C-alpha cells in the first residue's frame, strides 16, 4: 500500500459499459463516480466490480479517470484471483468501503511524524521527559517557568545560592577587590 488519500462517495453504483477483459487496465462505466450527483470524483479511489458475486468480485484501485472513462487502474487489489477475471458488459460496479482504504489510512499515519522527521507542531504539548527539545530561545521560556538553578551551567549552584545574587549592582569580583584594598592591614608580630 501507499500513503495516499483516496476519495469516496456514499451509495455510488453504476455498470460497465463494455467488456472488461482479463489483464485490461482501463474500462468505461455508464456513469461517472460523483460526490453529489454532478461533481466527478478525482482519482485515486477504489471500485468493486461484480460486488455481489463472491467468485468473480474484484476490487480495483483507480489511479486515472475522466468522467466515465477509467484510464488507469490496478486490478485485483485483494489478490483473490490468479489471473484478472473478465467482466461482461452491464456488470455492476460499486464504490464501497474496502479494507485497502483502512490500509491507506494506516500507511498515511505511519508516514507522519517519526523520530527522524522534521515536522511543525502547532498547538501541541511536548513531554520534555521523553523528547529532546532544541532551538529554544529566551523568548520561548515563560517568566513563570521556575527553572531550578541546578539546571544552569554545571548544576553546582542551588536556588538559595543563586538567589543571593539578587540585589548585586555591579561585578561581584570588583566589589570584593575594592573591599580588600580598603580593608585593615594587620601586622602579626612575633
Going from the first residue of the chain to its last (190 residues), give the mean pLDDT of each consecutive group of 10, the final group possibly shorter: 64 94 96 81 89 94 93 93 96 86 71 70 61 67 82 85 82 79 60
Q: What is the pLDDT, as a whole number, of residue 18?
A: 97
pLDDT of residue 102: 77
User: What's the order of all strands across the beta sheet hosting 45-49?
Assistant: 13-15, 92-94, 45-49, 58-66, 69-74, 27-28
Confidence (pLDDT) at 113: 67
Mention every residue, 6+ apart, whose C-beta is less than 8 A from residue 172: 165
- In angstroms, rounded to a whole number, what is the distance separating the alpha carbons of residues 78 and 47? 12
CA 93 to chain centre: 33
Strand partners, 13: 94
- Report the C-alpha gap between 75 and 86 in whole angstroms: 11
pTM of the model: 0.55
Amino acid at each position: 500500500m501507499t500513503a495516499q488519500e483516496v476519495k469516496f462517495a456514499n451509495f455510488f453504483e453504476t455498470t460497465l459499459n463494455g467488456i472488461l477483459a482479463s489483464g485490461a487496465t482501463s474500462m468505461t462505466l455508464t456513469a461517472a463516480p460523483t460526490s453529489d450527483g454532478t461533481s466527478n470524483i478525482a482519482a485515486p479511489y477504489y471500485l468493486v466490480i461484480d460486488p455481489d458475486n463472491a467468485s468473480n468480485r474484484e476490487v480495483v484501485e483507480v489511479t486515472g479517470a475522466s468522467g466515465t472513462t477509467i484510464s488507469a487502474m490496478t486490478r485485483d487489489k485483494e489478490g483473490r484471483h490468479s489471473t484478472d477475471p473478465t467482466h461482461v458488459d452491464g456488470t455492476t460496479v460499486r464504490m464501497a468501503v474496502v479494507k485497502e482504504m483502512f490500509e491507506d489510512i494506516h500507511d498515511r499515519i505511519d508516514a507522519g511524524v517519526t523520530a527522524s522527521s522534521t515536522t511543525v507542531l502547532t498547538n501541541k504539548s511536548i513531554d520534555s521527559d521523553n523528547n529532546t527539545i532544541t532551538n529554544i530561545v529566551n523568548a520561548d521560556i515563560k517568566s513563570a517557568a521556575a527553572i531550578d538553578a541546578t539546571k544552569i551551567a554545571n548544576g553546582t549552584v542551588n536556588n538559595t545560592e543563586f538567589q543571593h545574587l539578587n540585589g548585586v549592582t555591579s561585578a561581584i569580583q570588583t566589589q570584593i577587590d575594592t573591599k580588600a584594598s580598603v580593608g585593615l592591614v594587620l601586622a602579626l608580630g612575633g
